Structure 1
Amino acid sequence: MRLHVGCAMWTHKSWQGRFLAHPLPSHERLRHYAGWCNAVEGNTTFYATPARDTVASWARQTSADFRFVIKLPKVITHERRLTDTDEALHAFLTAIEPLGPRAHALWIQLPGSFTPADVPALARFLHRLTRSHRYAVEVRHPVFFNDPRAARLLEGALATVAAEWIPFDTTAFFRSPPSSDAEREAWTKKPRLPLRSLALTDRPIVRYLGRDAAERTIEGWQHWTDTVVEWLREGRSPTVFVHTPDNADAPLLARRFHDEVRVRVPELDALPQPIPTEPLTLF
């Protein structure tokens, strides 16, 4: 039983001198981030497959129990839509090999145009994948959330290879109008979908978007603290990524989420101690 928490990235301009020492060479920023959180979203791999040496550096900067949820490149998921992907997929899998067990799950984020009619293509793609990794799928078409038949179709395809369904919970964010520039930008870009909190495997993964105000982010995640506590008591090992529109306090918020869960599940392992910079508080 373990709870992993993290952010959408491991470096951010607003974190310099707060969560990460400053100045700090780029090849050491992940090590400092890993003092705050024990997981991270691998979003950069969506845009290009990284060099194997770069990935080896990620492994060197993190402990053996740190976890990456690594996104498949868009050439596989969005451009080729899961067909004729053997060459691109082989290059990607070769590149991320140095992570070893740190690669918690390979994240298949599908475009909003992916519909139930495309599920057979996903099923074929999943069955061709190596079983040396675990997989998690994110869909954004509303029909999967509003139509039980569509949800069951997708769940059936995922179940055959023990893949997880990643929800991106934006319900707290869209509860009231935006009040900052970052929130206004996110308002036009983030998916607006119903809440889903059903785990399919023993390693559920959640992406949660709060607000720039820390207290509103914390208020909005109360459903997830209850859900994660229940999952842990069932013997599952969840991973929760905390986002805000500006992500300015995301590492601190991720730790706060872990702390809230640990109060209710005291046997949960503590997070690592951050590399000191200066005292921080949320309020």
Structure 2
Amino acid sequence: MKSINSINSINSINSTNGADNTADAQRVVVIGGTSGVGFAVAQAAAAQGSNVVVASSNQDRVDLAVKKIGDQAEGIVLDVADEAAIVAFFDRVGEFDHLVYTAGEPLLLKPLADLGAEESRAFFERRFWGALLAAKYATPKLRPGGSITLTSGAFATRPVPGALLGASITAAVEGVTRALALELAPLRVNAVRLGAIRTELWDSTVPDPEAFLQAQGSVLPVQRVGTADEAASAYLYLLDNGYATGTVLTLDGGAALS
């Protein structure tokens, strides 16, 4: 597998020689890649020389993400709650090198007594079942040396009252990561366990996003929440490191220590 970090030098050589470097670039698919951490991953991968495919359920967001990333990006609308659509998506994508899954609805923070069955199932549909089905149908399309990177969260190990669904889903994703790393070997499967990251996700999750993020950051050893770019670097590390599999990489500003 070519190192993603090495592609800059490859592309520089090809550009100098006037050669077409398209065949040398890796291809990274980011489901959830039109906003927040997913977009940061897609943008960073493209900046390092990869061709990227970004997918989400909203055509306008897909178009805007592709425009921002530039010529190395392709965008496809995808409803990850629709299994047939996931199958068709990967048939359209064809062969590629790495899958990153960051898709999910805004966090649902409610105590058990207030949770409805329908809304709970819908939350699992995209964050858990969507990720599992994406892994299933991506696997035959991944080239040798490829990888799948899923997304977990700090609630998996440090839940708070009202975060029952978030804790359940993130813990399940981490279990799937370890199981698939064995089942799909030598294909690599990893996950990133994110703490509080400053993205637009919080705009529709809490009443006062800025106050919430300030409060979250103030109790961390680093004294702030993370950025989407910092989160993206964790995903790119797992894509690039051919020795990493079954790994849940924690990026939480030291929250696990407090």
Shorter chain as denominator, the TM-score bin is: 0.3 to 0.5
After TM superposition, the score normalised by the length of structure 2 is 0.36
More strand by share: 2
